[in-house]
Amino acid sequence: KAGVTQTPRYLIKTRGQQVTLSCSPISGHRSVSWYQQTPGQGLQFLFEYFSETQRNKGNFPGRFSGRQFSNSRSEMNVSTLELGDSALYLCASGDGVTDTQYFGPGTRLTVL
């Protein structure tokens, strides 16, 4: 099976802009989670979607949002970008059987 894919891999934006990141889970997986990784805060959970419903949410401002489509693909959106949003954004999919999550390669977002 193909692994988790994320697009784009690299992105440069300026403050105030918005950005949309995409994640395609492993075929058959219905759970998609998003994480933010920065040097200062480490890996932090953003939110998790299962069957198009947000099931869990981390402690991030409302500028961070996401959605999941009927084919389990997921997108996350960050509005009004700030310099501190520069990070590696990781997506993970879960098989719902072993509850193990598998991560994608990430999208490196740089906000100038």
Contact footprint for other proteins (CB under 8 A) = 4, 31, 33, 35, 42-45, 48, 50, 55-56, 58, 88, 90, 92, 94, 99-106, 108
| 42's tokens | 């480490």
* Cβ proximity of 46 and 34 under 8 Å: yes
Shortest distance in whole angstroms from residue 6 CB to other proteins: 8
Cβ closer to other proteins: 55 or 63? Answer: 55
* Cβ proximity of 72 and 29 under 8 Å: yes
Q: Tell me the pairing of strands 5-7 and 19-24.
A: antiparallel
Torsions phi, psi for 84 (to 5 deg): -70, -5
Shortest distance in whole angstroms from residue 71 CB to other proteins: 19
Cβ closer to other proteins: 10 or 70? Answer: 10
